[in-house]
Amino acid sequence: MAAVRIPPRLCLSSFLFQSPINFSLSHAPSFNGGPISRPMSSSSSSSATSPAPYTTLSERATFEREIKKSKFIAIASHVSDERSAMSFLSQDPRATHNCWAYKLGEQYRSNDDGEPSGTAGKPIYSAIVSSGLDMVMVVVIRYFGGIKLGTGGLVRAYGGVALECLKGAPTCYVKPKVRVGIEVQFELVGTIYHQLQHFHAEDIKQDYDTGKDDTTMVSFKVDYENLNSLEDAINSSCGRKIEFFKG
């Protein structure tokens, strides 16, 4: 029976975007015990790629197939970084070959684990790319059955079981979030909260220890793709420029 792709759902647990840019913190206020980075000015020469929403696996998936007496077992999972990918790899039992690949945005790696070069890791990575998924690792375990498959046979076997594993796997749609803090006067707090609710901000916290008698620090998490619109809405509703501090 052919594997059926399950439509993606919105992940309940959001992934918090961490900016790769190193901001100056010498004069930045803080919230929740840590510093907040000031936004980059438009004149800065540094730039970063905006994190885009993506589809990934919502749970671990497996697929097994026997090809000419060799057993191929594909195991796929969401991974958040290289460290978690290596941790996932270490969980799998050793077999004749444990070949793998992962994709973390623009970062990727693959390994043939003793198979002829390019016959295992690369086909697995190609399967990940073809699936349209991101932040994913696939390990294909092979138990050799005594019959050699040849170069073409290995490419089809490793790539095929990896793709079938991903086709039937449950997925979810992830919207990266960014933590933001804004320092505002007490009289504007109601207006700020109205806009935060409108843009579905999460984990809203308030800190009165700002060193100023009439201001408070409001911190929250919001979808990265909505950050600019939220900033415009707050500035417009408050009738003044409010500085956003990215954490």
pLDDT at 2: 44
Do 29 and 105 touch, CB atoms closer than 8 A? no
Do 237 and 195 touch, CB atoms closer than 8 A? yes
Considering 42-46, 47-51, 92-96, the range whose residues carry the highest mean pLDDT is 92-96
Confidence of residue 11 (pLDDT cuts 50, 70, 90): low
pLDDT at 10: 55
> Which residue bears the tokens 């089809």?
156
63 membership: H or E segment, kind and range: strand 61-67
Cα–Cα dist 136/78, whole Å: 5
pLDDT at 9: 57
State mean pLDDT over 116-130.
96
Confidence of residue 52 (pLDDT cuts 50, 70, 90): confident
Q: What pTM did the predictor assign? A: 0.65
Cα–Cα dist 189/183, whole Å: 10
Q: How many residues does the chain have?
A: 247
For residue 104 the two structure tokens come to 């973390």
Alpha carbon 75 to its chain centroid, in Å, reads: 19
Instruction: Count other C-beta atoms under 10 Å from residue 139's C-beta.
Output: 25
pLDDT at 49: 43
Helix (H, G, I), strand (E, B) or coil at 186: helix
State mean pLDDT over 122-147.
94
pLDDT at 92: 64
Average pLDDT, the chain: 81
Confidence of residue 210 (pLDDT cuts 50, 70, 90): confident
Do 37 and 3 touch, CB atoms closer than 8 A? no
